[in-house]
Structure 1
């Protein structure tokens, strides 16, 4: 059985996705303008990075996880004990869940901020980011092989992160002015 997982796989996947995003930005900046092209590519990259971090098993040696041993429901224990058990760079799991979605919210606003329809697309996109978080948690619930857990705390933290990114994007809009085509 081939096992795939661990932070190395996540980082490698993120780097490959970043290269593809840069190529996409370079290919589309003539038509979209630099700010919008980078923002669209950044949004797509952040969605792939979120999927890698949340859906790739944390260890390559997980092996087979029997369906009988997986949880049948999501944890509704808001702020439960799992947040303190996982730490990276001195940051706990809850903080990392928030930070994971900040770029997606930020890039979303900048990607659609060029057009008037962005007034509709940005809030709709924020709702889709919330749905994306829900979809990830439901996938973690259904696929025992991932050795991940569905948790309402993760969903709330992810939505908060997307909201923070959204607010930062709104603050950056008048600075970067994506509606002005800057060909560099």
Structure 2
């Protein structure tokens, strides 16, 4: 992986490019799912891509990088251990960033599944899927030294907390927006 790909520029460019693609897909799906369903499903899928970009794109030029030469061969189980302060895009600290990163995914998951009765089963299973996604990201960070990332149990816990907060917010939004009443006209 060359240094032409990495850092916040690649993250933002990837998010914008895929965001446009998912917006077009939402416009196509609007007739079948209604505007709320199409935006929720495409927004959820897009946000999973954004999470991957933020967590797996190499950190060239960002203070959070963990050089491959100094990274551990195991996942850190030191909960709450030394976490950097964050970077320019989100100054509240890495732990707050990890939590906030998964909030939209949890909320969009509920909105996407609330349209159907089976959503009351799909949404909690999806929440477990978000936890598994976070775990998979941490394991990829452990295995790929070239991306200058480190596997950390604190990141996993913070991600899951964010998904749960988003899930709760999604339940409130679903009650207000009532996607089960959406017309597919």
TM-score by length of 2: 0.91
The CA deviation at 1:70 is 3.7
1:45 aligned onto 2:72: no
Q: Secondary structure at the match of 2:181?
A: coil
Alignment of 1:79-158 (within 5 A): 79-84=80-85, 86-88=86-88, 89-158=90-159
Question: Aligned partners of 2:9 and 2:183: how far apart in 1?
Answer: 37
Q: CA deviation at 1:83?
A: 3.8
Distance across 2 between alignment mates of 1:170 and 1:157: 20
Aligned mates of 2:68, 2:124 — CA distance in 1: 38
1:2 correspondence with 2:2: yes
Contact 2:141–2:151, Cα closer than 8 Å, also in 1:
yes
Q: Is the 8 A contact 2:98 2:155 kept in 1?
A: yes
Alignment-derived partner of residue 75 in structure 1: 76
Q: Any idea what the Cα deviations from partners look like across 1:58-117, whole Å, max 9, x if unmatched?
A: 11698x946xx5421111111111244x34343100000000000100000000000000
- Stretches of structure 2 that go unaligned for 5 or more consecutive residues are none
Q: Structure 1 unaligned runs (5+)?
A: none
The CA RMSD measured in Å over matched residues stands at 1.9
| Paired residue secondary structure (1:82) | coil
Question: Contact 2:83–2:95 at 8 Å: present in 1 too?
Answer: no
Aligned partners of 2:162 and 2:139: how far apart in 1?
A: 19
Moved >6 Å (runs of 4+) = none
Q: Which residue of 2 aligns with 1:163?
A: 164
Provide the C-alpha distance between the structure 2 equivalents of 1:65 and 1:158, rounded to a whole number of angstroms.
Answer: 23
Superposition TM-score, scaled by structure 1 size = 0.91
Query: How many equivalent pairs are there?
Result: 180
Conserved? CA contact 2:33–2:184, under 8 Å? no
